[in-house]
């Protein structure tokens, strides 16, 4: 990573001005502080300098059209990609100073494509979430076992715990991976399109579960998601990217607005008022 934190903040303030309706809605110490985070590949900027705070106990949805840089941003937060510039702070510490396992105790990341994890039972998969705590040689103690059972209960997988992961349906498999992340006992969950392969009923089920986790154990969640209506239903805040820049950010009600959606997707979209949140549609 290049640049010190001080410089990054200057860079960040010079970046694109956030379009916010409700202003800063961060309470207390943020989990994540991104300042001037940039990613370039082949001389082209994929992510322009971005500033972002992720609060605890909230679900933050990253939305945007294909190629807008939302997955790239998430991967930089998960230390899967090395940023080209800017700084990432986790609980006030630069993430570059943390060891792999130290970081994994704080942050759990689910990649967009999860392999079938062949020849493993659900309980074993979930048990792998304890690796950051016991390491390669440490004992898998009663505390670890208890965390695994708790994660299985939370994700309603107890009855399937003995089944093979590759025999599960898509929705159940995603839940098993989520359970592994819960067992990881991290402060922050980063999910890259966890619902993309699921039908609408399983999407809702998955997102409710994520919602419940954020509410119950107080973890912060960042979720990359395509469906703007789903994002609005299940998140506290939405950050919309377009061509690697923040096109809009704010509460769901503020994003579900014809003018804002036009700015994000470059498409005329209509808004239907309903009893709860409005619903966007393509006329």
Partner 1 sequence: MPANMRLSPLAFWALAAAAAAVLFARAVITGWPSAGGVEGRLQEIVLTHGTLPRAATAMLAGATLGLSGLLLQRVLRNPLAEPSTLGVSAGAQLAMAAATIHAPALMAFSVGLVAFAGGLFTVALVLALTWKRGLEPVSVVLAGMMTALTANAASAALILANGEYLFSLFIWGGGSLTQQSWGPALSLAVALAVGLAASALLLRPLALLSLGDAAARSLGGAVSLSRFLVIGVAVWMATTVAAQVGIIGFVGLAAPALAALSGARSLKQRLVLAPVIGAILLWLTDGLVQFFAGPGGERVPTGAATALLGGPLLIWLLPRLKLFEWPSLAGGAAQARRAARPLVLLALLAALACIVFAVAIVAGRGPDGWTLASGQLLADLADLRIPRLVAAAGAGAMLGVAGVVIQRITGNPLAGPEILGVGMGAGAGLAAVLLASATAGLGWQMGGSALGALAVLLLILALGARGGLGPERLLFAGIAANALCSAVLTAIIALGNQQSYMLLQWLSGSTGRVGASEALAGLVGLCLLAPPLFLAARWLDLFPLGPAAARSLGLAVGRARFLLVACAALLTALAALFVGPLSFIGLIAPHLARLLGLGRAWQQLLGGLLIGAALMALSDWLARMAAFPYQLPIGLFAALLGGPYLIYLLAKGAERHG
Residue number with CB closer to partner 1 (152 or 232):
152
Q: Which is nearer to partner 1, 151 or 247 (CB)?
A: 151
The string of DSSP letters for 84-114 reads SEEEEEETTEEGGGS-HHHHHHHEEEE-SS-
Residues 6+ apart with CB under 8 A from 51: 12, 13, 15, 18, 34, 35, 36, 37
CB atoms within 10 A of CB 215: 12
Q: 155-164: string of b/e by CB count within 10 Å (b at 16+)?
A: bebeebbeeb
Taking the least distance from each CB to partner 1, the nearer of 8 and 114 is: 114
Tokens matching residue 221: 């969640």
| Residue number, 11 or 155, with CB nearest to partner 1 | 155
Interacting residues with partner 1 (CB under 8 A): 78-80, 99-105, 107-111, 113-121, 124-125, 128-129, 131-132, 135-137, 164, 166-167, 177, 184
- Output 166 or 199, the one with its CB closest to partner 1: 166
Compute the least distance from the CB of residue 223 to partner 1, in Å: 15
For the bound state, the minimum distance from the C-beta of residue 117 to partner 1, rounded and expressed in Å, comes to 6
Element housing 231 (H / E): helix 228-234
Cβ at position 231, least distance to partner 1 in Å: 22
Minimum gap (Å) between residue 180 Cβ and partner 1? 8
CB of 12 to partner 1, least distance (A): 26
Q: Which is nearer to partner 1, 116 or 216 (CB)?
A: 116
The half-sphere exposure of 30 on its side-chain side, counting CA atoms within 13 A, is 18
- Determine how many CB atoms are found less than 10 A away from the CB of residue 122: 27
Q: How far is the CB of 121 from partner 1 (least distance, A)?
A: 7
Per the document, the length of the chain is 283
């Amino acid at each position: 990573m290049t640049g010190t934190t001080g410089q990054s903040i200057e860079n960040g303030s010079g970046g694109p001005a956030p379009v916010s309706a409700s202003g800063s809605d961060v309470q207390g110490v943020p989990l994540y502080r991104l300042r001037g985070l940039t990613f370039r590949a082949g001389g082209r900027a994929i992510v322009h300098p971005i500033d972002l705070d992720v609060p605890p106990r909230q679900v933050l949805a990253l939305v945007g059209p294909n190629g807008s840089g939302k997955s790239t941003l998430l991967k930089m937060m998960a230390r899967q990609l090395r940023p080209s510039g800017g700084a990432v702070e986790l609980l006030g510490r630069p993430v570059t100073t943390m060891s792999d396992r130290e970081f994994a105790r704080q942050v759990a990341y689910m990649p967009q494509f999860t392999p079938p994890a062949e020849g493993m039972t659900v309980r074993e998969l979930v048990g792998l979430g304890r690796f950051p705590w016991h390491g390669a040689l440490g004992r898998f103690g009663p505390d670890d076992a208890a965390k695994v059972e708790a994660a299985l209960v939370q994700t309603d997988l107890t009855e399937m715990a003995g089944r093979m992961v590759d025999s599960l349906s898509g929705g159940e498999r995603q839940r098993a991976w989520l359970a592994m992340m819960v067992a990881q006992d991290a402060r922050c969950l980063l999910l890259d399109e966890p619902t993309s392969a699921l039908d609408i009923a399983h999407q809702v089920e998955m997102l409710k579960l994520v919602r419940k986790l954020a509410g119950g154990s107080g973890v912060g969640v960042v979720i990359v998601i395509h469906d703007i209506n789903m994002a609005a239903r299940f998140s506290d805040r939405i950050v919309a990217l377009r061509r690697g820049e923040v096109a809009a950010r704010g509460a769901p009600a503020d994003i579900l607005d014809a003018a804002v959606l036009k700015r994000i997707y470059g498409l005329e979209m209509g808004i239907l008022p309903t009893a709860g949140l409005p619903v966007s549609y393509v006329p």
